[in-house]
Amino acid sequence: MTFNAAIIKKDFPLLNRVINGKPLVYLDSANTSQKPQVVIDAMSSFMETTYAPTNRSAYQLASESTDAFEGAREAVRAFINAPRTNEVIFTKNATEALNLVAHSWGHANLKSGDVVVLTHMEHHANIVPWHMLVAELGIQLRWVPLTGDGQLDLSTLPQLLNGAKALSFTAMSNVLGTITPVKQLCDAAHGAGAIAIVDGCQYVPHNITDVTAWGADFLAFSSHKLCGPSGIGVLWGRETLLDAMPPFLGGGNMISDVRLDGFSCAELPAKFEAGTPPITEAIGMHAALRYLSDIGMDNIRAHEKEITAYAISTLNSRYGDDITLHGPSDVEVRGATLSFKFKNVHPHDVSQVLDQSNICVRAGHHCAKPLMKILGANATARASFYLYNSFEDVDALADALANADDLFSL
């Protein structure tokens, strides 16, 4: 199949909106992605025909609902090539998945003075839970620094990992677009006796993911960034690690017994899924995974490499020294998320001017304030492309930036 973003775009009803007579150019998929009709249909059809409690009631409808819900779990397992379906935990989002690991694994395995290694390009979701353990347990954090072109500087990794208990890192930066060498990092962590926790929030929607080939120990990601609904995320973890961890939240579904003097936990995955789960959302995520798999994650990655290369060359040739594109210029080591500084125009002004042409980009610190400090900025503007974006969208961005130049340039 030849990849055709214009045809793919037709699958996404919202992207065909026209606002004030102009088409919508959605360049904020690193924030959250739009949803194809098949996802919308799968969720409404499920609610119209099958919705019922999961894993609780004995009647036929509940058993159909449970089968559909558990089918989504198996689809996630296959999508990330995990060994076992019971290792897939449904959470609210990637943030909750990372908090689950830090809290539950952390409290069981870390004590005062123990070291966890993070990188300078982490999202707050992979920083703040560890800061909380600094306060609660007295652990220490070490940081992998960056090179000048926004990749991880691995020259001191052996020293940083020396004596560490965990290396927790993003597979792709939500600011710089940098794709990190995940397998190499997992191997290095294991070589030092540490576990490897991968934040796959930006990587999983855009690339083939294989936790088995990586040799990772945990992977966190969100459905809403991969064409699925918000309200559901995933934590995958090795069975042996998950089995040895205490539960994160307590309540219904996660117990095998509750007495006046205590409780015992259910088996995986229920142990980490307290309360009523995001049922319809799981069905939506399943439809999204099917949709992406039918197109092919390799085709999506190839398209995003092309569009990123085109965006980098178009913006550079059009604006030269007036634009600074953050992150690597080599598309082999980066995804389609492009943060930039445009002249001295504030990123929020850039975003507002682009909005006048219905171009949606994010402006802000992107929940990566330590990285912003390293970049010497309070904020950046960020255009992020996905399978439904075409070269025309890049041209629209480049054209509309000229308006920011006219209006705000100092």
Ligand X SMILES: Cc1ncc(COP(=O)(O)O)c(C=O)c1O
CA 313 to chain CA centroid, nearest Å: 26
Please state the closest distance from residue 320 (CB atom) to ligand X, in A: 30
Number of neighbouring beta carbons within 10 Å of residue 87: 25
186 noted as active-site residue = no
Task: State how beta strands 140-144 and 115-119 pair.
Answer: parallel
Contact segment (CB under 6 A) with ligand X among 48-56, 195-203, 253-261, 296-304 equals: 195-203
User: Is the Cβ of residue 94 or residue 359 nearer to ligand X in the bound state?
Assistant: 94
Task: Kindly tell me which residue out of 54, 168, 222, 357 binds ligand X, with binding defined by CB under 6 A.
Answer: 222
User: Is the Cβ of residue 29 or residue 390 nearer to ligand X in the bound state?
Assistant: 29
d(CA 306, CA 115): 40
- Positions in 76-135 near ligand X (CB under 6 A): 93-95, 123, 125
306-311: long-range contacts, CB 8 A cutoff, minimum separation 24: 307/5, 307/336, 307/385, 307/389, 307/390, 307/391, 307/394, 308/177, 308/334, 308/335, 308/336, 308/338, 308/385, 310/391, 310/394, 311/336, 311/338, 311/383, 311/385, 311/394, 311/397
Please state the closest distance from residue 362 (CB atom) to ligand X, in A: 9
User: Is the Cβ of residue 177 or residue 269 nearer to ligand X in the bound state?
Assistant: 177
Which residues face 197 on adjacent strands? 168, 218
φ and ψ at residue 211, rounded to 5 degrees = -65, -25
d(CA 94, CA 361): 22
φ and ψ at residue 157, rounded to 5 degrees = -55, -45
Q: Is residue 170 involved in binding ligand X (CB under 6 A)?
A: yes
- Positions in 229-288 near ligand X (CB under 6 A): 233
Please state the closest distance from residue 384 (CB atom) to ligand X, in A: 10
Among 186, 201, 227, 367, the one annotated catalytic: 367
User: Is the Cβ of residue 382 or residue 401 nearer to ligand X in the bound state?
Assistant: 382
User: Is the Cβ of residue 50 or residue 95 nearer to ligand X in the bound state?
Assistant: 95
Please state the closest distance from residue 247 (CB atom) to ligand X, in A: 20
Contact segment (CB under 6 A) with ligand X among 62-70, 196-204, 237-245, 357-365 equals: 196-204
User: Is the Cβ of residue 94 or residue 312 nearer to ligand X in the bound state?
Assistant: 94
Q: Outline where DSSP puts E strands in 267-379.
A: 323-325, 337-342, 359-360, 362-364
Please state the closest distance from residue 91 (CB atom) to ligand X, in A: 9
3-state secondary structure of 248: coil
d(CA 234, CA 120): 24
Please state the closest distance from residue 99 (CB atom) to ligand X, in A: 9
- Positions in 329-368 near ligand X (CB under 6 A): none
d(CA 126, CA 96): 10
Number of neighbouring beta carbons within 10 Å of residue 137: 14
User: Is the Cβ of residue 92 or residue 318 nearer to ligand X in the bound state?
Assistant: 92
Binders of ligand X: how many residues, by CB under 6 A? 12
User: Is the Cβ of residue 221 or residue 319 nearer to ligand X in the bound state?
Assistant: 221
Q: Which H helix or E strand runs over 36?
A: none
Contact segment (CB under 6 A) with ligand X among 39-47, 56-64, 194-202, 267-275 equals: 194-202
Task: Kindly tell me which residue out of 192, 201, 219, 363 binds ligand X, with binding defined by CB under 6 A.
Answer: 201
Helix, strand, coil % over all residues of the chain, rounded to 5: 45, 20, 35
Please state the closest distance from residue 224 (CB atom) to ligand X, in A: 6
| Pair 380, 173: CB distance under 8 Å | no
d(CA 180, CA 190): 17
d(CA 332, CA 255): 46
Please state the closest distance from residue 58 (CB atom) to ligand X, in A: 35
Q: Is residue 151 involved in binding ligand X (CB under 6 A)?
A: no
Q: Is residue 178 involved in binding ligand X (CB under 6 A)?
A: no
Give contact residues for ligand X (rule: CB under 6 A).
93-95, 123, 125, 170, 174, 199, 201-202, 222, 233
Active site residues: 367
